[in-house]
Structure 1
Amino acid sequence: MILRRYFDSMAGRLFLFLLVGVVGSSSLALGLADIRRKADLEHINIVRLVDRVQDLVSLINSAPKPLRAQMLSEGILGLRPLKGSERIVGPDPEFSRVLASRLDPSSRAQKAVPRTCIQPFRTSFYAQLSCWVISTRLADGSSIVLVALSPRTDTFDLPRLDPVFLSILTLTVSVLAFLASRMAAAPLRDLSRAARELGRDLDRSPLPERGPYEVRDALRAFNLMQAKLRDHVVERTRILASITHDLQTPLTRLRLRIEKVSDPALRSRLIDDLGGMLALVRQGLDYHRGNELEEPFVRLALDSLLDSVVEDAAEGGRTATLVRRSGYDIEGQPRALQRCLANLLDNALKYGGAAEVSATVEAGAVCIRIRDFGPGIPTEKLESVFEPFVRLETAQPPRGGVGLGLTIARALALKSEAELVLVNHPKGGLEACLTLRRGLIPSETVASQASAA
């Protein structure tokens, strides 16, 4: 499964392409070089045989006539007279060309079956030889026919690669191909990781523009897109903040004038409508501040922060309890994390009537769970409620708000490098799960108690 996933990636495919390509081309090059080497050896062997024929012809031409017959019958090393049992296969153009250039132009060479050139037949021996039937002329114009024997050099089969050599070649090419594929795929891997993180943090640092020019162009385009998206979001939130801020003054004047309405029922309805408008203005400003909020990460005593948030939420008789502490400290943005937890707890109390808060450590992260005892949310809408101005008012009457509480909570969670999800509790109600992973260490209080024990 891991290998299949790796070879399905760009790095794996590039690695396989380089490995097969380099090993295959190296093996083919070695085979062609071996064929060329054997062809050169064949040519050298032909030249050497022609030298012997030329030496024999020169000796015969210079010898007295009584000795010529004896020399022809005995021959010299590798050359002997024709006996008639040799079976001709066909002409040898290369041998004939060299022979004609060194001796009489009518000289020619023909290939013969090696086993017919050796008497008696020895199969284990003739298979290693090549045989030619050579005809040429002497100085007096008489013709002679000779049989030439030589070790075989005309086999052009692909060479058998040495397993040790092939193993070393494969290992070396594998390492180089793996490093090359990682180096080639690294910019794309960084780009994909940056694209995933872009949705969580538009203010992240731009990617360094390095590498080949195609990669630099892609990175430059990505950084430009990020800058334009950030400018668009900033402009949108700034417009929202400006509108909501400017609405506060006329709404305040309107509240003062409503107090002068003599009809109590009408005055009550107008005040309720005005309260909804003021809530919209306040949440709009909170949404803007949540996007604009910039603060450093510091070490936070998580349990103390949870105690404070729960105590603030429980004011006014509302039921909010901290049922479990984590015993850990984290790194986070204090104001952002406090506002995120406050929004989640306020949402739980508003729609569930009561809330329980617990913090547990799971797989190297702190999971803060805020559970209410309300009707919950349909499973298909658990994600959509994080979108701005989305409100789920079904059977129960409207509870106020404009649908920005969970939107602000998730935006603040992302700023704290946390993950926020909603799930329906198995025993009823909705549960908000905030997962914090940065800088998780045991708190000093817990550590001191453990050392004392």
Structure 2
Amino acid sequence: MMRSGLPDTIAWRTALTVGSAILGVLILSLVANELGGFWASPASLERALLGRADDIVRLIEAAPVAYRQTLSAAVNIPSVTAEWYPATTDAARDLMVSSTPDLTGTYDNIFNIDGHPRRIVRFNSNDRLSDVLSYDRSTHRRVDFFAVQLRDNSWLVFTDEAHQWALPQSTQIVIALGFVGVSILAASVLATYFLSKPIRRFGNELRRFGSDPRASPIPEIGPKELRSAISAFNVLQAQLRQFVEERTTMLAAMSHDLRTPLTKIRLRGEFIEDEEQRARLFRDVDDLQAMADSALAFFRDDFKDEDPTLFDFAVLLRTIVDDYTDQGRPVSYSGPERFSFSGRPLALRRACMNLVDNALKYGNLAELTLACSPTQIELTCSDRGLGIPPHAFEKVFEPFYRLELSRNRSTGGMGLGLTSTRAVILAHGGRIVLHNRAEGGLAAKIILPITGSSGGVAQVGSQSVDLQ
């Protein structure tokens, strides 16, 4: 649009899109009207035949009765013959019963005389009316008839060997409206798709930024208003990134600077003669150091510095289980033997270990269950503890929130384990939900989408299943 000199705005795009849709519908309607033939409206050839038939009707109607049969036999229309039936014949009586006036104007008033419509009957050789007509059935197996009533109630029947007369006007209207409706629907769908394409692209870029705040700026493409919004968002993104980096740098400096006074406190604590007080002091020092290190690790988001790669997720889980089992911890795994997945293996390993640690600490054991589908994987970590109150299902993901009210690091931790775990899962485009099990204990379910780069091959035992 910019090359054409028109302003590239949403208003202009909408106007051009709607105008193009209307123009497309009109063109399609014209094409259908020309190519539709007999079923859409009477074709030009058919109109010519009807016009000649009307002239023949008027001629025979004006001729004496004695000459009408001869005149009808002399009809010279390609593939069409005519036969006159007096009002006293069985054919005329049957046609009278089956006929209806052409009140709808189907034939454009071709057969109207002085504003009075004639009675017209259309049928073919398969209709019972053809039994009373005289025509060569051995030569013409399938013919169409067009009967017109004259003023003296006699009938002139045209026998057509190769032409189909037009459909009734009501049927034509239904077909035309149906085609126009389908055309408008198709044009609207296409117009809406191309009009909303830049907005959809912007939404996808926003979701990418939501999962990775360090993502590159969004390309400024699309209409003027959208480019302005993208530009403002890129500025906001840069400010947020700078804000986070400054706070992270400050926390890193604080953590580094705290090491010196904490070390001095520990050295001076060696001179405390009371062993109990000395032990309490050392525990406080360790708590301060652990809190500083945990906060720093959380705010740094170190897992996002790891590049995504294709790895075996099932093997990663079984390795975690083996490590805990070697320590005599009750951890088990059930699921496929092999499953390739694209992600950050180290970050996912830490997230899974956080869930296992919580399950062991509060539920005495950890049961890992992996379920795979063509679109996502579900990892459930279950325990046999007391569970947690439903109102705390979301609160436990908040930084430094702990259900265990004591400040003992050995029993309650720092309150950042689940927060860090959810950050890792969200960075992979997934989600984590908690629920209490009916048989007792808590279940933490991780749901991760499978991207196109994931291998998507699960192997159970000796059988491999392609999930793509």
Would you call these one fold, judging by a TM-score over 0.5? Answer: yes
Q: Is the 8 A contact 2:331 2:365 kept in 1?
A: yes
Residue type of the alignment partner of 2:245? V
Measured in 1, the distance between the counterparts of 2:335 and 2:182 equals 56
Aligned partner (choices 419, 440, 447) of residue 435 of structure 1 = 447
Measured in 1, the distance between the counterparts of 2:332 and 2:201 equals 43
Q: Please list the CA deviations of residues 103-149 of structure 1 after superposition, one character each: whole Å capped at 9, or x if unmatched.
A: xxxxxxxxxxxxxxxxxxxx962789xxxxxxxxxxxxxxxxxxxxx
Q: What is the CA-CA distance between 1:177 and the residue it aligns to?
A: 2.6
Match of 2:390 in 1: 379
**1:208 partnered with 2:219:** yes
Q: What is the CA-CA distance between 1:235 and the residue it aligns to?
A: 2.6
Residue type of the alignment partner of 1:407? T
Q: Please list the CA deviations of residues 4-44 of structure 1 after superposition, one character each: whole Å capped at 9, or x if unmatched.
A: xxxxxx9xxx89x959x959x98xxx9xxxxxxxxxxxxxx
Q: Secondary structure at the match of 1:227?
A: helix
Measured in 2, the distance between the counterparts of 1:224 and 1:171 equals 45
Match of 1:286 in 2: 297
How many pairs align?
311
Q: Is the 8 A contact 1:365 1:440 kept in 2?
A: no
* Match runs of 1:308-327 below 5 Å: 308-314=319-325, 316-325=327-336, 327=338
Residue type of the alignment partner of 1:441? G
**1:218 partnered with 2:233:** no
Q: Is the 8 A contact 1:286 1:408 kept in 2?
A: no
Indicate how the Cα distance of structure 1 residues 210 and 364 shifts in structure 2: closer, same or farther if over 3 A, else same: closer
**1:348 partnered with 2:363:** no
Q: What is the CA-CA distance between 1:169 and the residue it aligns to?
A: 4.4
Indicate how the Cα distance of structure 1 residues 295 and 406 shifts in structure 2: closer, same or farther if over 3 A, else same: same
Measured in 1, the distance between the counterparts of 2:183 and 2:334 equals 60
Match of 1:304 in 2: 315
Q: Please list the CA deviations of residues 309-342 of structure 1 after superposition, one character each: whole Å capped at 9, or x if unmatched.
A: 2333456544333344553221221211111112
Q: What is the CA-CA distance between 1:435 and the residue it aligns to?
A: 2.2
Unaligned 5+ segments in structure 2 are 1-9, 31-111, 118-169
Q: What is the CA-CA distance between 1:239 and the residue it aligns to?
A: 2.2
* Match runs of 1:17-416 below 5 Å: 22=22, 125=114, 163=173, 166-291=177-302, 293-314=304-325, 316-325=327-336, 327-362=338-373, 364-393=375-404, 399-416=411-428
Q: Please list the CA deviations of residues 168-207 of structure 1 after superposition, one character each: whole Å capped at 9, or x if unmatched.
A: 5444443333212221122223334444454332233433
Q: What is the CA-CA distance between 1:224 and the residue it aligns to?
A: 2.5
* TM-score, length basis structure 2: 0.57
Q: Secondary structure at the match of 1:389?
A: coil
Q: Is the 8 A contact 1:276 1:401 kept in 2?
A: no
Measured in 1, the distance between the counterparts of 2:299 and 2:406 equals 31
Indicate how the Cα distance of structure 1 residues 325 and 276 shifts in structure 2: closer, same or farther if over 3 A, else same: farther
Q: Secondary structure at the match of 2:310?
A: strand
Indicate how the Cα distance of structure 1 residues 126 and 169 shifts in structure 2: closer, same or farther if over 3 A, else same: closer
Measured in 2, the distance between the counterparts of 1:449 and 1:406 equals 34
Largest Rg, 1 or 2: 1
Choose between structure 1 and 2: higher helix proportion.
1
Measured in 2, the distance between the counterparts of 1:125 and 1:448 equals 87
Q: What is the CA-CA distance between 1:346 and the residue it aligns to?
A: 1.8
Q: Secondary structure at the match of 1:125?
A: coil
Q: Please list the CA deviations of residues 139-174 of structure 1 after superposition, one character each: whole Å capped at 9, or x if unmatched.
A: xxxxxxxxxxxxxxxxxxxxx997365555444443
